Amino acid sequence: MSQNLSTVTCIEDLRVVAKRRVPRMFYDYADSGAWTEGTYRANESEFHKIKLRQRVAVNMDGRSLATTMAGIDVKMPVALAPTGLTGMQHADGEILAAQAAADFGVPFTLSTMSICSIEDVAQATQKPFWFQLYVMRDREFIGNLIDRAKAAGCSALVLTLDLQIMGQRHKDIKNGLSAPPKPTLRNMLNLAFKPRWCLGMLGTKRRTFGNIVGHAKGVTDLAALSSWTAEQFDPRLSWDDVAWIKERWGGKLILKGILDAEDARRAAATGADALIVSNHGGRQLDGALSTIEVLPSIVSEVGSQIEVWLDSGIRSGQDVLKAIALGARGTMVGRAFLYGLGAYGKAGVTRALEILYKEADVTMALCGRRNLAEVDTSILVPGTYPR
């Protein structure tokens, strides 16, 4: 049964509708983690262990969640994380999510592995978005991608460091997720139950990796793309690469995928504008710690030199506020907006952002705070949060 958007009150509601509307292969691609999915689950469950201190009879009037992330004004400390294949959760997904984010007042990050290209998104939006870069073996292609992001007016480059090789996700293999997807009987039958999704896809020309096909050497069709992507993620990625990418880009640089205080020191030494404490949403090293557990150690190591942000496991505005309390200057959300997109397109992304905002605002108020400068560990119950 379809649910009216006005009765969608939490991110879980959006997930349930997305599961119904998005073909299984693409829904599972979003809603999965590596191997046992232990880290994927821990990202969420560790947030729940942290308890909040309720305060009363304090002035809660005139609240604001506004702040800056890497010097960019944001309505709340949340950016949309880069996610590959977003245009497969919903037709033209990257364009719709970028528009929703711009209208709401938070940044959108376009993945290297997006369906809509950098140029497509730039043409369909008025505000600058961010571009996420994966380092591929073909450095000429990478250089060109950086130039294309610059030409499109992207206001920050998010360089992902935790995917030199891919973590294994069982569901993707079992579902035959590849480029092109395997047309198994099960997949075809599943599509028959997703008419809304199929209609959307028939109505768009954007059905493959827009940043790659026609741009990377020898990749002119979907068949060539499959072997190209399998070979291209560069296992030799090093801190020297970060230096040349920083120089070639010349703008705001955000390093994504830091989970260790020693790596955080290296990241801060590059002179980047921010680092993101991330385990890729539990999609890479299963058995790694959740990001909220690691956050305080990284903040105490480099928080005075570089902005520290966090992603992975955020499903509510309370999670956002807990991350801020533990020293994050900003957060990113992946699945929280993907579920909205898969469920209701642009309106669903807007709803996801409204939900996160409302939850963060009410939580801040009930903790007796009026703005983010007042949010620190004093809103948390001692003994319940990681140090």
Ligand X SMILES: Cc1cc2nc3c(=O)[nH]c(=O)nc-3n(C[C@H](O)[C@H](O)[C@H](O)COP(=O)(O)O)c2cc1C
Per CB under 6 A, 81 contacts ligand X: yes
State the nearest-atom distance from the C-beta of 43 to ligand X, in Å: 6
R_g of the chain, CA atoms, integer Å: 20
Per CB under 6 A, 312 contacts ligand X: yes
Q: Which two three-digit tokens encode residue 370?
A: 């009026």
84 appears as a binding residue in the annotation: yes
**Stretch touching ligand X by CB under 6 A, among 78-86, 137-145, 164-172, 197-205:** 78-86
For residue 317, the SS3 value is helix
Kindly name the residue from 48, 90, 215, 280 that is annotated as catalytic: 280
- The amino acid that residue 96 corresponds to is L
Q: Which two three-digit tokens encode residue 219?
A: 């990749």
Position among 22, 101, 267, 333 found at the interface with ligand X (CB under 6 A): 333
235 appears as a binding residue in the annotation: no
Q: Which of residues 117-176 bind ligand X (CB under 6 A)?
A: 132, 160
Q: Which of residues 13-52 bind ligand X (CB under 6 A)?
A: 29-30, 43
Tokens 């599961």 -> residue: 19
Distance CA 62, CA 70 (A): 25
- The amino acid that residue 75 corresponds to is K
3 appears as a binding residue in the annotation: no
335 appears as a binding residue in the annotation: yes
Distance CA 107, CA 2 (A): 30
The smaller minimum CB distance to ligand X, of residues 169 and 194, is found at: 169
Position among 77, 317, 334, 345 found at the interface with ligand X (CB under 6 A): 334
State the nearest-atom distance from the C-beta of 139 to ligand X, in Å: 19
Per CB under 6 A, 313 contacts ligand X: yes
132 appears as a binding residue in the annotation: yes
State the nearest-atom distance from the C-beta of 111 to ligand X, in Å: 3
Residue nearest ligand X, Cβ-based: 334
**Stretch touching ligand X by CB under 6 A, among 53-61, 214-222, 280-288, 301-309:** 280-288
Per CB under 6 A, 281 contacts ligand X: yes
Per CB under 6 A, 113 contacts ligand X: yes
Distance CA 85, CA 270 (A): 30
Helix (H) or strand (E) holding 226: helix 222-232
Closest listed residue to residue 96, CA positions, set 12, 177, 204, 193: 204
State the nearest-atom distance from the C-beta of 241 to ligand X, in Å: 15
Environment class of 11 (CB within 10 Å of its CB; exposed 0-12, middle 13-18, buried 19+)? buried
158, 270 contact by CB (below 8 A):
no
CA atoms within 13 A of residue 95's CA, in its CB half-sphere? 17
311 appears as a binding residue in the annotation: yes
How many residues contact ligand X, by CB under 6 A? 24
For residue 101, the SS3 value is helix
Per CB under 6 A, 84 contacts ligand X: yes
Tokens 């977003």 -> residue: 86
State the nearest-atom distance from the C-beta of 230 to ligand X, in Å: 15
111 appears as a binding residue in the annotation: yes
Got the DSSP string for 241-305? HHHHHHHHH-S-EEEEEE-SHHHHHHHHHTT-SEEEE--GGGTS-TTPPPHHHHHHHHHHHHTTT
State the nearest-atom distance from the C-beta of 161 to ligand X, in Å: 9
The smaller minimum CB distance to ligand X, of residues 238 and 378, is found at: 238
115 appears as a binding residue in the annotation: no
105, 127 contact by CB (below 8 A):
no
To the query of whether residue 280 is one of the catalytic residues in this protein, the response is yes
Environment class of 110 (CB within 10 Å of its CB; exposed 0-12, middle 13-18, buried 19+)? buried
Q: Which residues pair with 67 in a beta bridge?
A: 74
Binding-site members for glyoxylate are 29, 132, 134, 169, 280, 283
Q: Point out which residues bind ligand X (CB under 6 A).
A: 29-30, 43, 81-84, 111, 113, 132, 160, 256, 278, 280-281, 283, 311-314, 333-336
Query: Which amino acids are annotated catalytic?
Result: 280
